[in-house]
Each structure stands twice: as structure tokens, then as C-alpha cells.
Amino acid sequence: MEYTKESLGRLVAAQKEYFAGGQTLDVSFRLEMLKKLYEAVKKHEAALILALGKDLCRAPQEAYLTDIGPLLTEIGETAKGLKKWARPETHFSGFSCFPSLITKVYKMPYGTCLIISPFNFPVLLSLGVLAAAIAGGNTAVLKVSAKAPACAQAVAELVADTFPSEYVTVVKGGHEAADMLLEERFDKIFYTGSPRVAKHIMAEAAKNLTPVGLELGGETGNWCIVRKDADLKDAARKIAFMKILNAGQVCININQVAVEESVAEKFVQALAKAIRKQLGEAPENNPEYPRLISRAAYEKCAAEAETYRDRIVCGGKGNEETLRYAPTVIYSVGTDEEIVNHELFCPLLPIVPYAAEKEEQLLQTVSSREHGLALYVFTKDKAWARRVMQSLQYGGGCVNEVCLHLMVKGVPFNGTGHSGMGAYHGIWGFREFTHPSTVLWGGTHFNLSLREHPYTQKKLDFLKKVEK
């Protein structure tokens, strides 16, 4: 479908008119829509898994593990908690407001939202965010990624089969369609993707002071720290899984691993062994292993690997026909080298050895870089791990584990700085797509004249007593 500024303008206007009708304010309506979304995902499950296979060569099990399963859980959690979340809060106004003693906080929808989703998890990161927007009582325009055309079509068909376009609709197409949408006046924008594009989106949103939620990968990627007291075999197994997942095209993936130098070689050997165990000797030919999203992404990955050819200890091979590039371990790499100063978003994994006595210097280096979306540490020293996780700036993370913090119910998924702003999942998604409106219910009897002119010392003395 060819989009024009006029056609997209009509689409947004229709959603604004629908929202103005007030139907989405009803919590029962929102619950009904969440139920319809859940049933639609179940109905279209096979088509969604097939599309993930076409776009990313995802095995059906991985497609369910990373997109379909978490999406169904997200919708279910949201539907279960919505009545409680949406209930107005009641607060005591304080004696200084007498006789108006009751204040309510209403959780109000923003209105018409624009959701811009990425290619790497094109089902979860589109329909999962949509669930939060629906729970908040909004209408939504969902701009899906053109880099994953099969998934874009599958999501578009699911939405069209489930909701009227004036309530929820999908816009496909490339950057031109996205830019035309950004020219429209939305009430909320939520974007998942790169910091570079996020800056453009914020600049456009600023023209109308539109609130923005961002989930970004981080400019310099996510760090993993493996200390010498860690269970190296366990760490290697989990880190190998993380780097294999979606061929490294994961916003919370590990960008580089810092390993205490006395165990670095042992860890690298364990890591290479874990990769071979999971994918075999030729991962680039394994049909279960996902591919890079485009030829440009493949060529970028292959070119960067070639730069470090003499330090590749595992992988370093690709299949140009299928666009699969093997998980590639590069050892050793310094903290100032180019490969650890930008987000990789591919299956390359540099290993950065560090001296035990320079651990604090390493932490300062990590802290000085742009904030990552995730941080992972492997150690048996819980006190050290607690200190690190409570002092560095990052979105979320794990101790002696990878990525599973994303799967926990009731907790936020968020970033900070170059890794994002705002949060969602469960109640946090509901909060992201609503704004709290404070309303004091005024009393009409026994009103005191303390705030009115003329001001006297007696009034001031009484006010001070009330405040105490």
C-alpha cells in the first residue's frame, strides 16, 4: 500500500475522533479488547511463527520462546491486573486544604498513540507494546518494520482481523512512512530501536511536546563481567546461548565480555566449546540458527570480523546465501578498541581481559560509557555483585544469569540515557501509556478564609500550627 501525507492524516484523524467518543475510557471495553488480542495471537500463531522463520530463519521453538510465549504472558498479566491498576487512588488532602479533604488520582489515557516497532522481535515488540496502549485506554497506530516484511504482513493481518482501523491499525513501509507519521500530532510516541533514530524521533516529537517512551540498545553496548571466582562453565554456557539468540540481534544482548585475565583463556575455551555444543562445528550452516536481517547487516558483520581476523578463536565464518554468520569469539581485545565502543547487534563477541587489581578501573570505564540497556555479572561474591548492580547506570540485568530478567512478571523493562527512557511490561506498561491526573474534591461548607486577603499575623500563626 502506498501511503501519502493525506491518507495518513485521515487515518490519525479517524483515531482521534474515535478516542473522543469515550469508548476506550471504559475498563470493561479495554479488557474485552485485550481478550480479543490474546485470542487473535493464538489464532494467528502458526502464521506468526512462519513469518518469523521467513524474516529471521527462527526455528519454531525459538520463535515461540522469544516472541509468541512472552507476548501471551504479557497480555494475560495485563488483563489480570488492569481493574486494580486503573482504579482511581484516594488520598487525604491534608488539614491545610480543609474542608476539602479528599483528593483522587485518575489514570487517564494519553489519546492516540504511535508505536514504532523494530525488526529483531517484530511480534513481541509490536503487539506487546500495543497491549500496554490498549490497557491504558488509548487508540494506536502501529508502525511495523519494513526490514521484516513477512512479520509486518502477519501483524497487519492479525490487527485488521481483530480491530477496526479507527481503534488500532498497522502502517507498513519504510522511513518515508515513519517520517510522515511523525509529522502528525500524536498524544504519545513509543519507539524501540537505535539511539540514532531515537534522536530524530524526539526532535519531531518536541515540535508538539509529545511525550515519548524509548527502548534502545545503548550506544556502546551491554557489558558482561566474569570474575575469577565465577563458575566458568556455567557462565560460558549461558553467554553462548545469549550470543546465539537471534544471531546477536537482541537489544539486551552481551556486546563484550570482560574477564579477569587469570581465567580468561580457560573461559574462552569453555565458551567456544559451549557454542559448538549448541550449534555444531559449522553454525553458519545450522538451520536452527537465525540469520542476520539483511545483506547489509551481514556484510557489516563480516567486514568487522575480518578486521580482527588474527584474533578470532571461534567462528569467523559465514554463509552468504543464507546470511548466517557464526557466533565469533575475538580474543583478546582492549577496552579502547573500536569494536567495544559501539553496539554490535550481530554475533561478534569480543573478550576483554582485565587485571584483578584494575577491576575498579574497569568499572569506571564501563560507567563512563553511554548507559547500556543491560548489565550482566558472573561471580560467587554476592556483596560485590550487589555493590556493582546498585552503583552503575544501566537498564536492567542479571547476576549469574542472562536475559531472564526480561521474563519476570510485574517488573519494569527500561533503559536510561542512550538505552532509553520510560518503562513497560505489566503495570509499568499501563503507567507508560497513562498520565496520572490529580483532582481535589472541594468542600462547600466550613470554608476558612485563611488563604484570602487581608493577610494577618493571626492567620499565618494558625497556618504554621496546621503544617506542624
What CATH number has the domain bearing residue 72? Answer: 3.40.605.10
The answer as to whether 417 is a domain residue is no
Q: At what angle do helices 124-135 and 69-86 cross, to 10 degrees?
A: 10
Print the domain residue range for 388: 223-412
The answer as to whether 445 is a domain residue is no
Cβ-based neighbours of 214, under 8 Å, separated by 6 or more: 190, 191, 192, 198, 201, 202, 415, 420, 421, 422
Domain count across the chain: 2
In this structure, the answer to whether residues 231 and 372 fall within a common structural domain is: yes
pTM of the model: 0.95
In this structure, the answer to whether residues 33 and 133 fall within a common structural domain is: yes
The answer as to whether 119 is a domain residue is yes
In this structure, the answer to whether residues 247 and 150 fall within a common structural domain is: no
Q: Please list, residue by residue across 99-111, b when 16 or more beta carbons sit within 10 angstroms of its beta carbon and e when fewer do.
A: eeeebeeebebbb
CATH number at residue 331: 3.40.309.10
In this structure, the answer to whether residues 59 and 148 fall within a common structural domain is: yes
pLDDT, one tens digit for every residue, the chain (468 residues): 789 999 999 999 999 999 999 999 999 999 999 999 999 999 999 999 999 999 999 999 999 999 999 999 999 999 999 999 999 999 998 877 888 899 999 999 999 999 999 999 999 999 999 999 999 999 999 999 999 999 999 999 999 999 999 999 999 999 999 999 999 999 999 999 999 999 999 999 999 999 999 999 888 889 999 999 999 999 999 999 999 999 999 999 999 999 999 999 999 999 999 999 999 999 999 999 999 999 999 999 999 999 999 999 999 999 999 999 999 999 999 999 999 999 999 999 999 999 999 999 999 999 999 999 999 999 999 999 999 999 999 999 999 999 999 989 889 998 999 999 999 999 999 999 999 999 999 988 888 777 888 889 988 888 888 777
As annotated, the active-site residues are 215, 251
The answer as to whether 261 is a domain residue is yes
Q: Classify the C-alpha dihedral 114-115-118-122 as positive or negative.
A: negative
| Rounded-to-integer distance, Cα 332 and Cα 271, Å | 14
| Rounded-to-integer distance, Cα 260 and Cα 258, Å | 7
Q: Is 288 exposed, middle or buried (0-12, 13-18, 19+ CB in 10 A)?
A: middle
Spacing of C-alpha 361 from chain mean position: 29
Query: What residue type is assigned to position 227 of the chain?
Result: R
In this structure, the answer to whether residues 406 and 367 fall within a common structural domain is: yes
The answer as to whether 468 is a domain residue is no
In this structure, the answer to whether residues 171 and 261 fall within a common structural domain is: no
3-state helix, strand, coil in the chain (%, to 5): 50, 20, 30
The enclosing H or E element of 106 equals strand 102-109
Q: Classify the C-alpha dihedral 354-358-361-366 as positive or negative.
A: positive
Nearest to 226 by CA among 216, 236, 218: 236
- β-pairing, 423-424 vs 413-414, is antiparallel
CA atoms within 13 A on the CB side of 460: 4
| Rounded-to-integer distance, Cα 21 and Cα 98, Å | 36
